[in-house]
Structures are given as C-alpha cells and as structure tokens.
Amino acid sequence: MKCWSSAKSNPKTLFNMGVAYESGRYSTKGTVDLERAHQHYMLAASLGHKQAIYNLSLFYLYGKGGIAVDLNRAETLLRRAATLGVKKAEQYIQELEVRRRAQTKQTNLMRSSASAPNLTQYDTYFEAFNNYDSNNRSNTRYLQTFAIVNRDCCSPLGLMDGRIHDWQLSASSNYDRDPNCNVKYARIHVWPGRGWCADTNRTNDYLQIDLGFETAINGIITQGRADGKSWIKHYHLLFSGDANVWTYYNDKQKLLGNKDSHSLQYHLLTNLVITRFVRIEVIAWHNNPGLRVELLGCRKCDSIINYPPRSLYKASSARNWPQDAYCSPEDAYID
C-alpha cells in the first residue's frame, strides 16, 4: 500500500499508514498519534466487526490538490470514505470527490464526504481531491483520509479454534525428541510453550495445511514457538489444489515472519487465492525453526463441508450384505 500526491499538492507525511482492525489494534511505522489512534478505534467500532480502516496519510493540501492511494488489492469493496480536519488549526475539507482509477483510466464514483454506495472495485486506486476552499484566511488544507474496506473474507479459518483438525496438518520434518514439538501444536495462542519445530536447521522445511476443500485465502498470521527461544524470521507461501503441483505466492516473494516467539505477525495477501493446500516454507529463523499459525479467509459457498475420506459418517441403520462390502455409512460419500 503506497501514497502519492497530485502535482498540485505538497505532501508532508507525518507517519506511514497504519491499520485499525476490529479489535482496535493500531500499528504504524514512525510517530504514533494516540488521539488519531483512538479515533481509528471508535470509527472501526461504529462500522462493525468485519470492517478494517486504512489510514492513508495526513498531509498539507494546497488549492485543489489530491492524493491517489494504491489499495494493493485486486478486489475491494469500498463502503465509505471519511476525512478528519485538524482541530487546533480549524482547517478541514467540506467537499470531497472520490474516484476510481485503473492505470490511466479514471471514473468518477461519488461526490460526498460522508458515504458512498456499495461498490465492487476491481481497480486498485482510491483518489481523494479537495474541491472546496474551507478557510478563506489561508489556502493550506489538512486532509486525513481513510479508505474503509470490507473484510468479509478475512476471518480465521480454524487453526486456533480446532475446526482444522490435527490430521490436516503435516510437515517435511518434526523434532520428535521434544514432546512439545509437533505439527498439531502449530496453532496461534492455543499451546503455551509448544509449536511445530523442524527437525533440522535447513531452508525449505515446511508446514503444510490441508483445508479439506477449496477455500479463499486472504491472509496469514504467524507466531513463534512459545518457548521464548525459536521463531521463523522469513518464509515463502505456496498453494496447491492437489498437493502435487505447487505455486509460490507472488513469484516466490519472501514474507516477513516474527521477531520474537510471542507476538503476532500479520500479512494480508495482495490478491485473494483459492486453494485447498497451503505450505509455509522456512527461509530464515532464530535458533531453530519454530512456528504457530492461523490462516485468514472464507469458505466458498459451493464447496463440500466435509471432505472424504476423513469425514465421519453415522446412520440409523445399515444392511449387512455379506456379498457386498460397500453398504456401511462410511461408504456414503461422493467419489
């Protein structure tokens, strides 16, 4: 996600963009303004649990300058655009024009500072332009712009709460000499002192997750082994529909892992990925590769809820035909 300004504006960005999730967590690089962080939290709470707010920037605007922001997503549902003025300076924006742009093509979407219709945006640019002189004493404007993005497909997929079962987790290796090291412990928050540990300190070791059927993946959360000693610093993501042919995420992009064994590291994918199998491939680590994880996304509506042969079937009765051994409840799946 990046910020730009139009040729008519002179941006003096005070901090890089942060994210206010529905939990109220606020993160940013650079200076943190606690008052703005609180405003982010209150706005997020008012929008509901499935919304996320991207703080784009706070900068000076001259005349009718504007800002263009790459949301860095292929599909974005823009619910609302909001602005905040600077209280002490008594400067604010009274009229805002929001546009959608795909490369050089521009399309006007709305002319309002309050709300917008639900729009499915397959373009990745969000633009805000100041069209009103709000203070006759000066042509300097402060504009704090937010893009509020729908997060309906960004829910935990079940590692933390057990909806993804132990049999769905596997790894290239496991350090069996430590009982606290096992793939079944590769779940964030759930197992204090435990986690998945690779048997050897080598690159390309991996943790593999079988989601059971095709699932939309939107992000990943990683955490080190909860022993205070081991975590993964960088990793690759791989996806597969059959566990045979694998594709690296973003042309083998190196993703940032953890800096300690307890904090959570979030990574939202650039594009939604539909897959059944996910691999987290180790690149670099601290002491030893240790990992706990959660995947973010949503289940496809047209997918099978339980996937054979692991599904558990029961029936009120079953005919026992000695000449035909395929009449038990376990045989009632579609092949």
Whose CA is closest to 290, among 221, 224, 229?
224
* Model confidence at 181: pLDDT above 80: yes
Q: What is the mean pLDDT of residues 287-296?
A: 92
Between CA 290 and CA 169 the distance in angstroms is 15
> What's the number of domains the chain is made of?
2
Computed over every residue of the chain, the mean pLDDT equals: 64
Between CA 301 and CA 305 the distance in angstroms is 9
Please tell me whether residues 48 and 114 are part of one structural domain: yes
pLDDT at residue 203, rounded to an integer: 87
Please tell me whether residues 103 and 226 are part of one structural domain: no
Please tell me whether residues 256 and 274 are part of one structural domain: yes
Its domain, for residue 167, covers 155-299
Whose CA is closest to 194, among 209, 173, 175, 211?
175
Please tell me whether residues 47 and 115 are part of one structural domain: yes
Exposure string over 156-165, b if 16+ CB within 10 A, otherwise e = bbbbbeeebe
Please tell me whether residues 270 and 172 are part of one structural domain: yes
Phi, psi of 256 (to 5 degrees): -75, 130
Please identify, among 102, 117, 150, the residue that sits at the C-terminal boundary of a domain.
Answer: 150
pLDDT at residue 259, rounded to an integer: 92
Domain assignment present for 244: yes
218-259: per-residue pLDDT in tens? 889 999 998 778 999 999 999 999 899 999 998 899 999 999
* Model confidence at 159: pLDDT above 90: yes
Please tell me whether residues 35 and 128 are part of one structural domain: yes
Q: What is the mean pLDDT of residues 39-44?
A: 45
Please tell me whether residues 145 and 176 are part of one structural domain: no
Which single residue is written with the structure tokens 């204090």?
Answer: 192
Residues 6+ apart with CB under 8 A from 106: 99, 100, 127
pLDDT band per the 50, 70, 90 thresholds, residue 271: confident
- In percent, the amount of the chain with pLDDT more than 70 equals 45
Lowest-confidence region among 43-52, 77-86, 270-279, 306-315: 43-52
Please tell me whether residues 165 and 241 are part of one structural domain: yes
Domain assignment present for 318: no
Alpha-carbon Rg for the chain, nearest whole angstrom, is 24
- One-letter amino acid identity for 281? E
pLDDT at residue 218, rounded to an integer: 85
Lowest-confidence region among 11-15, 289-293, 307-311: 11-15
E strands present in the chain: 2-5, 19-20, 26-27, 51-62, 66-70, 76-84, 96-102, 105-111, 119-121, 125-130, 140-150, 155-156, 169-171, 196-197, 206-223, 231-240, 247-248, 255-256, 265-286, 290-299
Please identify, among 150, 168, 188, the residue that sits at the C-terminal boundary of a domain.
Answer: 150
DSSP 178-246: STTB-GGG-BTTTSTT-BEE-SSS-TT-EEEEEEEEEEEEEEEEEE--TTSS-EEEEEEEEEESSSSS-
Whose CA is closest to 17, among 95, 126, 113?
126
Between CA 70 and CA 61 the distance in angstroms is 19
pTM for the whole structure: 0.53
pLDDT at residue 257, rounded to an integer: 93
Q: Is 266 helix (H, G, I), strand (E, B) or coil?
A: strand
Please identify, among 117, 150, 183, the residue that sits at the C-terminal boundary of a domain.
Answer: 150
Strand partners, 296: 156, 219
pLDDT at residue 303, rounded to an integer: 52
* Model confidence at 281: pLDDT above 80: yes
Residues 6+ apart with CB under 8 A from 259: 231, 233, 265
Element housing 24 (H / E): none
- In percent, the amount of the chain with pLDDT more than 90 equals 26
Q: Is 39 helix (H, G, I), strand (E, B) or coil?
A: helix
Please tell me whether residues 227 and 257 are part of one structural domain: yes
Which CATH number fits the domain that encloses residue 7?
Answer: 2.60.120.260
* Model confidence at 153: pLDDT above 90: no
Please tell me whether residues 215 and 87 are part of one structural domain: no
61-80: per-residue pLDDT in tens? 334 444 444 444 434 444 44
189-225: per-residue pLDDT in tens? 877 789 999 988 888 899 999 999 889 898 899 999 9
- In this structure, the number of other CB atoms found within 10 A of the CB of residue 210 comes to 18
pLDDT at residue 144, rounded to an integer: 42
Domain assignment present for 334: no
4-25: per-residue pLDDT in tens? 222 222 222 222 222 222 222 3
Between CA 72 and CA 207 the distance in angstroms is 27
Residues 6+ apart with CB under 8 A from 325: none
